Structure formats: structure tokens, C-alpha cells
Structure 1
């Protein structure tokens, strides 16, 4: 599973300076494992982040007066072996005697927090919304044959083809697809290779896809429950965080081997530039691209900004696409550009990679009370609710309350998204992308057949357009995603959602953490290797249970 070992120079941890470009979960995980596994002194680990806070796409912020914002939520489960290994090293914020992993385990073990969705898919009925019976997948014999074909075919044969090239149109109206695509955010035009990987990676979830009983939740949103504890831990150890600092390029030694010698940066607030000298025994980890770059927030009364052009992607404030583009550009990097993949494949196709999420801050308990009664689920136990007849293909998640550390008792927060934001709504006669937060809430209340008052005037809904949110799922060719350790690299590793890791699945926290663990193991020569990707298909019981569900 770990990639082929390059001829890296022997490193003495006490002499190493580690420069981690990007402050997302990949860099935070790398810093943790550099301390714990490689024994690099914490004050010699430098996290360089273009924004004012760590976390990258795992963000969460706000206040009751102006509204809370979550651009996304993440599914965790027992198969996230690398992620749970990481969280077992981090002290809990609420009780330092426990780890974050123990905190999550205890939270999910509590009977009142267990996920068991009673209203997973909702259809439009004659008298209002109807909860669909999802005990059956609704797959035809041909659908099953097509699923088996995609699952068994090689990635090379599937190539850069789309999911909808392998299935009949009726497949995309089955219970299976409505639950699968909204659980993982797949769309019919996404990569068949990524779909195949998910079929293998999450085969253990087939029997409970209709209840989402295998999903682990964090006590609060994932910024407060995961990112904040890791940041506090690393700062307490002495890790150097450099915020509002955008890395613009790297320089390499004039040798056949790939050795970073300089990191060029600019301060976000002043525009002043500088550089960091990197010694051959130092290491540099660079997170490539960003699924939430160029995100645009609307308000309760305004819509988000339009989708950016491909050129605007490279001028985003975070600099993530600009840096990757510079590394892969033969003019900017004539030596090693071919080792950095093809970023343009992922940032130039926003019509295929965008969707829109929204966060609702409720100042009146009426909505949650009515929702719990209607759905049969207490807040935090129902997981994802999908409105299959929504033109926007809208889904919502009503989590356990409070969802933020600073959330008052009289405030509730929930999150949702639409996979088709450029379709015209069923109740609001305009595309979701052009709607204000209040208009999105109006559409949701229409699908639920709930009264507008008092909810509409006692809530703040903040929409977030994300142009590249599923760009990792786009069709791609071999080589479009670079390796974690580029060929010939002596001190550079690449992290994040756009690197290539055999068998594992993008759009998961696990993917970023695994890349970080691989990088630390390879460049520091640690004894501890990342654990192998969980492979449920090697378990006969898992296979049989999955088959039974697919035959329903």
C-alpha cells in the first residue's frame, strides 16, 4: 500500500525543519505524526496557511445574531482506520484525560445519539410529503448486472468514462441511487472509476444505506470537534502556525532529483513577499488544490456570487489552484512539471463540480419540534433526509443540538444542500444558485409542507456556492492526479484530495489523513506505516449482507 520508497537522505529528526503548506486536515495530521511517529521537535514544524484559521474545508463558524455557517458535513465510520488512529493521539477539549477518538466513541455509543433514519427519502405525495419505503433498493436485474460489471472491471478499462455510460436511465431513479448519490454526493456525470472505488470501499454500508446506522457523528460540528482540538494540541506542543501567508511557488535544486530549496510566499494582508530557504535534510509537504476554494456566501436576503471562470480559479485568495498550476506548468517549472499532474482537469469544469449548501440558524423551536414529529427522529438521529422530487435534489441534516461550542440553548442549527443548484425550484420560481437564504428556506418548507410562520421570520439561512466541491469526482486520466511522493523527490510530498492513493476514496477525511501518514512514513523513514485500506469485500459475511440488500 505505501508507495515505492525513493532514495531519500537519512534524516535526523532533531535537524529537520518541516514546512507544511496549507492548514487543512492533511497538514494538521502530518504535523501530529511528525511529532508522534518521527520525533521531529514541534517548534521545527511550520504550518503555512493563507487564511486566518486552520481547518481548510473542515470549517464551521458564526454566531446566533448573524447566523452560523457550515460549508459541509462529513461522514465518519469504523473503516476510517487512519483518521481514528490520528484522533486517538489528540486530547479532548472537554476532558484532556480522554482522546478525541474516545469522545466520539462515547458520543455514538449513547442510545439517544444512535443514527437510525426513519425518513431517509421523501417523495411528493398528493396530500404532501410522503416517506418512501427504502427497505428495498428497487434495482432491476440489469441494474444489478451493471453494478457488478463496474465493480469488477479494472480502472484502466473504465478509464475516463462517466457513471451514466454504464447504466440505463431508470437506474438513476432507484432508491439505491437516491440514497447513494446523496450520501456521497455523486452525480451521473462523475467518474466511473471513483464510483467503482466507492462500491468496494463502502460495501459494508450497503445493508444499512437506508438507515445510515453505520455513520459516526462528532459531538459538535467537525471544526469544533476535530480541527480545534488538533490545533490546540499542536500549539501546546510548540508547532509554529503562520496564518495569512500564501505560498506562491517552490524552487528546486538544479539536479536530476527533485529537491525543494525555496518556498516563496506573500502576506495576505500587505502583499509583501518573502522566501524560506529549505535545506536538503528539511521536508516540505504541499496540499494541492481545494474543494472549497472560491466559495461564495450569500445571506438571508442575497444570493451567492456566480461561478468563477477557470482563470479566476487561479486568482482565488487561498492560492491553492495557483500554486498547483505553477508546479504543473512547464514554463514555471521546466524541470519537474510532469510529476505534478493536471490541475486544469479539476478546476476548469465548474458546471460539473459545483453544488450549493446552506446553513440554517433557528431562533424559534417550532421547526425542530415539527420536524422531529414528522420524521420520527429526534435531532441528531435521522442523518440525511433527501427530497427525491426536488428539482434541486435537496437534502438536509438536522444534527444533535447544540452543534457549535458557542451555541446558546435557545438556538438550533441545521445544514443542507442541493446537488442541482441551477435547476428552477418547485416552490420558488428561480434557480437555487440565484436564491437568497430566505428563498431557500421557503423552498424547504414547501417540500415539508410546513407553515412559513413562525419559522421563516425567525431564521437565518446562509447559502454557500462551492464551485469545485466535487471536482475530485470528475472523470480523469491516469496521471491527472500526482503521487504523494513524486518520482525522484528527496524532500517533497503532496497532500490532499487531488493526489493518487491506490484503492482509497476521495471526498473523505480518511483520504487526506492517509496521504499525510504516507508522507511522514516515506520522507522520515518511520517504522509505523499507515494501516491498509479497509476491504470489506474480503469478509464473507459483509459480502453476503451486501448481496442480500442489492437483491431486494
Structure 2
């Protein structure tokens, strides 16, 4: 007898945005009962990489912040248009976000700053004719031809000194050794942003950080539907075997048991016929570590966290489940460091607003292009946390080259305390440290795998959301294969979850298609004109 969807049980391994979205799709579109859904999360809080913590007294923390747009991210906004806002239950998170961005518009006037603290005229992208030809060649190459090549395989050294590279790179966190395929995908997916790369007018923000503005409303909605959250609980193993798929008559991988551990005990859950398992394989923020004003973050690896162990076990056992070693074996090419600064006075914001010509929330990203650490930062509209006091300001910063010795502090960023990092930033901006950061708390965060999904790879190195040889197990993360879409986005995780859920439930529903701005004559013309500016 076919099981009814309302009677199915579903288990999500990992509490990131992909799992939260997947649970919402099961309830909203699949008719699965919320109390039959369980989400396991190793950390005390949900949200995965979309986290936010701390407080005004000890300092706020934010490991990262994803760039959002409103004219793409089709699956994301279609979902959040059905999730009520926490500030106004009569409107959705999507409509709330649209209204906020109508009120606070981005138009950066200081996108790049050079070593003399001069604002660079970044409207000029700095391409030579050879650079333009190289960019066109890569953007038109097939993914089969690009293979597992790196970005630097397709460009001459001069390309990596252009204003375009500095801006495109820091908008999306690319490095020259990253995947040429991913770089090409970004060129196409965000082609509509190419003409405005220096002003970043297409970049949109949520009212608060993305944990407070996106994760919390979704979590509250799921709780209201009875979803079970098991935090500080780690799934350590899946008992799998080959079983007959009655629909296809073929042998497929079937999860029979799920094993998890928490502080109290170790439990085994039987996965019955018709039940589903969704796994967030891999993690960009795995093995993260925090420092303080007086100490640098510790250097952790996957051996310390065991965050990749389950995927490695599955991949070693079954073809088609991906190759995690492609993404987690080279920390030196996948890590960088971020830091969150909590301010008890307005001195830094005042001086930065006067220097840049942008009020907080309107300037988008500022990149110190000659910084050895290659630092970028942005001043968001305040408050950035829902519980942030009115006399406190917070901003987020990161360095893409944390292994290099600073320009003003004589050691690598990874060996620096929060105070030393702030002294480096003040040196670049020629601000008096004792004036702008006298009452500051800076908490650095080292993330060894933050750009691991950008590592050069082949198409087969990532599993499909539902591998062809899987019956009841799906993968929903930044490490699955979705044609044409781009990793390191909220959209990628949510699209993967929607694809996986619809396929496992065999739902005849349309997934929002990827908007093809790169096929618009207007966008193509504006892009070419910008490239020759």
C-alpha cells in the first residue's frame, strides 16, 4: 500500500537554511505533517552558515553574510513570500525586505580605496583588449571544456590587476585558484549586475542580519507547524543497503537506520518504508573558530570537527555520491578570516561616512585593494541585530589573504588578535585608532572551508540532489550539482532542497526557473558597453 504523504517521516541532517527550507516545502507543498519532521543540528542554534550571535557587552559575532538580490533568487523569495515577518505578521519576509530596500538604497561611492586612502574611479574597469578577449573566451566556453581548470588558467596576469577583478572578486569571494566553471556561472547568473559593479546598486539587504531576518521567521513558522528540532545532536552514521525500487525495478541505496549522538546518549532511529532523509553534505563554515580582542582564533581542521566524516563514509561506499576530498583537502586555498566589530560610540561610522560620502546602509562594500590581507568591509543600516541597543553600532569585515603579513601589523591576519586587526584597518584608513576604536570589541573568526565549494572540480565531483542510485536519501547543500546556478548563495541551498523534495515525493509542481538575464539583449548590450568603458 502506498504511504500517504501526511504519514511520512522526514529527517534532516544539519540545521542550515537548506534543511529549514526543505522542511517548509514538505509541509507547504508535500502535505507532510510538521510533527513527522525532525531536524538534527550539531550546534546549539539553527541556521548553519547564516548565523549571528553574541551581544553588545561581549561583542556580536557574524561568520559571514551572503549577498542578496531581489530580481533573482527565485526559489528563495517564492518561499519567503509565504513566511510571515516577525515584525509584522500581516506581511511576508519577502514583502518586508522589498519595502526596506525601497527605503534604504545602495549606491556605493567608495567601492575601492588605494594605499594612499584615495577613492579609486572604479567606473573604469581597467580591461585591456586582451583581457576582454579572455573574458569573452571563458564566458563562452562549455563547462566540459573548462573542466576542473582554475580561473588563472584562462587569464593573463594583468587581468588580476584590473578594477573589475578587485570588485567582482570581493563581491563574491573568488580567488585566482578557484574554479573557472564557477566563475563562468557567476558571470552569467549576475550579468545584470556587471554594468553596476562599482556602485552595487543591485545588491539588496534584509532589515537585520540574515539570521534574524530569514532564519528566525522560518524557524518560528516551522515550530508553529510542529517540526521537531534536535539541537546539539550530531548524526554520526546512516545504515544503508541496496534495495529494490518498485517504481523502476532497479536496485537503489536505501537508508534503513539513522544514528545520532547528543550529550546524554546515542540513539538509533529506524527509517521505515516511505520515510525520507535529507543530508546537508559538507559545510563552508565547518571547523570555524573565534578569537577575541586579545587572542587569535585557533586553527581547526576537519579532524577536529568531524564535519565531513559522514559524507566521506557515504561517498567511499557509493558511486554518484560525490567526492568530498576535492573540496576539503586544501585549506590554504579555501580559507579566509572574517571579523565582527561592536562599537560603543559613533566615531568610526562618523568618519567613514564623511570620508566615503555614504551613509551606513547605502555604501555597500568597501575594498582596500592594496591591503596585504585584501580586506573589505561594509557599514549596514543600524541596528544590524534585532536586540542591538540604540547606542551600539556593528559592522562586518573580512580578509581574503589572511595568511599574509599585514601592512601595519607585522604578522599574518590568522595570528592576530581583534585589537591587532583593528589597528591594521585603522592604518589603511589613516584613522586614529584611539579615537575610532577606543570602545570597540573585535571578534575574529577563522573559517578553513569558507570557499571550499569554489575549488576546481568536475561535474561528477558533486552528487545530484537525489543521486540516480538513491531511493530515500537526498543531498541539499552547497556541494550538490545544479545546472547553471551558483554556489555560495542562499538560493543554491534552497533550490537544492526544493528539487530534492519534489523528486522524492514525485510532485508534479514547477520549481521557479532560473532567470536568464544573460539572454537579455539589453543586459548584454549594457555589459559590452561597460566592458569598454
Normalising by the smaller structure, the TM-score range is over 0.9
- Aligned 8 A contact 1:364 1:454 in 2: no
Matches within 5 A, 1:152-167: 152-167=140-155
Structure 2 SS opposite 1:358: strand
180-189 vs 448-457, greater mean Cα deviation = 448-457
Query: Which stretches in structure 2 are left out of the alignment for 5+ residues?
Result: 244-250
Match of residue 3 from structure 1 = none
User: Which of 472, 476, 482 in structure 1 is aligned with 2:463?
Assistant: 482
- Aligned 8 A contact 1:284 1:492 in 2: yes
Structure 2 SS opposite 1:460: strand
In 1, Cα distance between the equivalents of 2:308 and 2:256?
A: 21
Match of residue 66 from structure 1 = 58
Match of residue 477 from structure 2 = 496
In 2, Cα distance between the equivalents of 1:79 and 1:13?
A: 31
Q: Deviations over 1:110-157 (max 9, x none)?
A: 1xx1000000000122xxx00000111111101011011111111111
Deviation at 1:490? 1.7
Match of residue 323 from structure 1 = 310
Matches within 5 A, 1:8-407: 11-77=3-69, 78-110=71-103, 113-125=104-116, 129-255=117-243, 256-267=251-262, 269-270=263-264, 272-308=265-301, 313-316=302-305, 319-329=306-316, 333=317, 337-407=318-388
- Aligned 8 A contact 1:315 1:322 in 2: no
Deviation at 1:243? 1.0
- Aligned 8 A contact 1:422 1:433 in 2: yes
Match of residue 246 from structure 2 = none
Query: Which stretches in structure 1 are left out of the alignment for 5+ residues?
Result: 1-8
In 1, Cα distance between the equivalents of 2:237 and 2:271?
A: 13
- Aligned 8 A contact 1:394 1:417 in 2: yes
Deviation at 1:279? 1.1
Deviation at 1:13? 1.0
Deviation at 1:528? 2.1
Structure 1 SS opposite 2:457: coil
Structure 1 SS opposite 2:118: strand
- Aligned 8 A contact 1:517 1:529 in 2: no
In 2, Cα distance between the equivalents of 1:68 and 1:470?
A: 23
Which consecutive aligned stretches of 4+ in structure 1 deviate over 6 angstroms post-superposition? none
Structure 2 SS opposite 1:53: coil
Deviation at 1:340? 1.2
Match of residue 248 from structure 2 = none
In 2, Cα distance between the equivalents of 1:11 and 1:493?
A: 19
Match of residue 435 from structure 1 = 416
Deviation at 1:527? 2.8
In 2, Cα distance between the equivalents of 1:35 and 1:325?
A: 30
Deviation at 1:11? 4.7
- Aligned 8 A contact 1:361 1:459 in 2: yes
523-532 vs 504-513, greater mean Cα deviation = 523-532
* Alpha-carbon distance change, 396 to 35 in structure 1, aligned in 2, over 3 angstroms: same
In 1, Cα distance between the equivalents of 2:183 and 2:167?
A: 14
475-484 vs 131-140, greater mean Cα deviation = 475-484
In 2, Cα distance between the equivalents of 1:427 and 1:246?
A: 42
Structure 1 SS opposite 2:361: coil
* Alpha-carbon distance change, 11 to 177 in structure 1, aligned in 2, over 3 angstroms: farther
In 1, Cα distance between the equivalents of 2:408 and 2:486?
A: 36
- Aligned 8 A contact 1:11 1:524 in 2: no
In 2, Cα distance between the equivalents of 1:425 and 1:104?
A: 38
Deviation at 1:477? 2.3
In 2, Cα distance between the equivalents of 1:502 and 1:218?
A: 27
Deviation at 1:253? 3.4
TM-score by length of 2: 0.97
- Aligned 8 A contact 2:320 2:469 in 1: no
TM-score by length of 1: 0.94
Deviation at 1:10? 5.5
In 2, Cα distance between the equivalents of 1:340 and 1:11?
A: 27
In 2, Cα distance between the equivalents of 1:383 and 1:10?
A: 52
Q: Deviations over 1:201-237 (max 9, x none)?
A: 1111001111000011000000000001100110011
Match of residue 447 from structure 1 = 428
- Aligned 8 A contact 2:337 2:447 in 1: yes
258-267 vs 99-108, greater mean Cα deviation = 258-267
Deviation at 1:542? 0.9
Deviation at 1:454? 2.6
